[in-house]
Amino acid sequence: MEIYRLTIHEAHELLKKREISCEELTKALFDRIKSVDEKIRAYITLDEEGALQKSREVDKRKDFTNPLTGVPVAIKDNICTEGLKTTCASKILENFIPPYDATLSVRLKSRDAVILGKTNMDEFAMGSSTENSAFFATRNPWDTTRVPGGSSGGSAAAVAADECIFAIGSDTGGSIRQPAGYCGVVGMKPTYGRVSRYGLVAYASSLDQIGPITKDVTDCAMVLNAIAGRDIMDSTSADIPVPDYTLSLKPDVSGMKIGIPREYFGEGIDAEVREAVLNAAKVFEKMGASCEEISLPHTEYALWAYYIIAPAEASSNLARYDGIRYGVRAKDYEDLIDLYKKTRSEGFGAEVKRRIMLGTYALSSGYYDAYYLKAQKVRTLVKRDFDQAFKKYDFILCPTAPTVAFKIGENTDDPLKMYMNDVCTIPVNMAGLPGISLPCGFSGNMPIGLQIIGRPFDEPTILQAAYAFEQATEYHLKKPCIDSDTASSGEQKCDKEPDAGKGVIA
């Protein structure tokens, strides 16, 4: 049995019954990483010694009551892990080792999850392809000539390639859901404030949110149970009771009303993506839900407002990287100003510099009202659109991304084209809503992501809808064949795997 392919709930049952050990599972994952990560490049840092030591400790305790106990996890490299490098995929933090754990890390460690290492990402989470990493680009396990999405591309690729049992990402404008969609796995952005951001290296503080990337919806609910909840270290975390999300895993959507926004199916949406999502709507109707076309009229402005607000917040948040307090410092400089200039010029990549300049300009005297203030007003209108829709509909159904994963290098010279990859996900962050992506079809061999959007703090409903769809279809069962010689050609065929193209199970 290839135990590295297990889901959380499968691994939990085997660990609980002592049919496998935590050390055995952890070793299998590192063997898998050594076998395939040269092709995928999902990890920046691995902690084999620490993970194996932890696994032995877990085995000695013999207490597998909690579903995450003994289960190996990969963590995005912008989340602090005490004693383990946290680089944000940036040269400026290349050797930074945090002296503390993020609340996310504390909560996983308290449940005895085994941290394998830190995953690659777009530098400071600024990107949609994981090509902006200062170290190397991560590749999509379905076709290694394509991107895995971003900015949590390393986490999504690691899950899809079975290089971990589950992973953690962060989502500022789609950075969990879009790579999950591109890599054919499940990714959830919880409601803003549902999961503590303490110890998450800030990009845009009013938009950032931590969430799970998993192999199926059941695992997603299990991880959310562990990481959600109020944190006194994060003033923006919500003091709202956390339900048991696994109780929402019912294959029943009968009587639910689904809104399908016409704005998410317009120009720029690939025909096969549109068809797959509309076919998913038919699956829901077959299960007893009703679907109606709706309008979210301010959707077209959300992307442009986001690229004012997020860079503005990034401009403020990244001002701390000055070569004085921590991180890289330029070696040759004349005075303090020269030190700042050279450190930031050498330490930040092109996309980070671009967004800092955009944000600084938007916040500068004479432009604040014209740009930043106006963008915040647009944000309010975007949220109102969703508020109106949720008065009638239980959840909203749309694509996760307008296309499947694109070729590495295809959009690097066109920032505006790259930004368009988040057009379906950004409005959810602007409104602070929960959203989940799961596979709903394929274009050729590449996965297509289905996005389900819910009311604030109504993660149970979108998990129920996602679980019902997953149980009614087979898309999530198909796996990439990384070991195959065709992995780099985009023509993989997995004869051993279920035929995901069948769609609905009879």
* Residues marked as catalytic: 76, 151, 175
Interatomic CA distance for residues 409 and 131, integer angstroms: 8
The H or E element that residue 214 is part of is strand 209-214
Contacts of 175 (CB under 8 A, 6+ apart): 122, 125, 128, 150, 151, 152, 169
Residue 419's nearest CA partner among 351, 373, 349 is 351
Sign for the CA dihedral angle at 401, 407, 77, 161 comes to positive
- Number of CB atoms found within 10 A of residue 272's CB: 16
Task: Encode 154-187 in three state secondary structure.
Answer: HHHHHHHCCCCCEEEEEECCCCCHHHHHHHCCEE
* 383 and 430 Cβ atoms separated by less than 8 Å: yes
The H or E element that residue 357 is part of is helix 350-363
Number of H helices, E strands in the chain: 15, 11
DSSP 391: T
Residue 118's nearest CA partner among 43, 198, 211, 31 is 43
Strands lying side by side in the sheet with 43-46: 43-46, 114-119, 72-76, 166-171, 209-214, 186-189, 435-443, 446-453, 395-399, 257-261, 290-294
Greatest CA separation for the chain:
73
- Number of CB atoms found within 10 A of residue 288's CB: 12
Does residue 151 sit in helix, strand or coil? coil
Q: In whole angstroms, what separates CA 122 from the centre of its chain?
A: 12
Q: Is the peptide bond before 151 cis (omega within 30 degrees of 0)?
A: yes
Opening angle at CA 260, ends 258 and 263, nearest 5: 155
Q: What number of residues does the chain have?
A: 506
- Number of CB atoms found within 10 A of residue 370's CB: 11
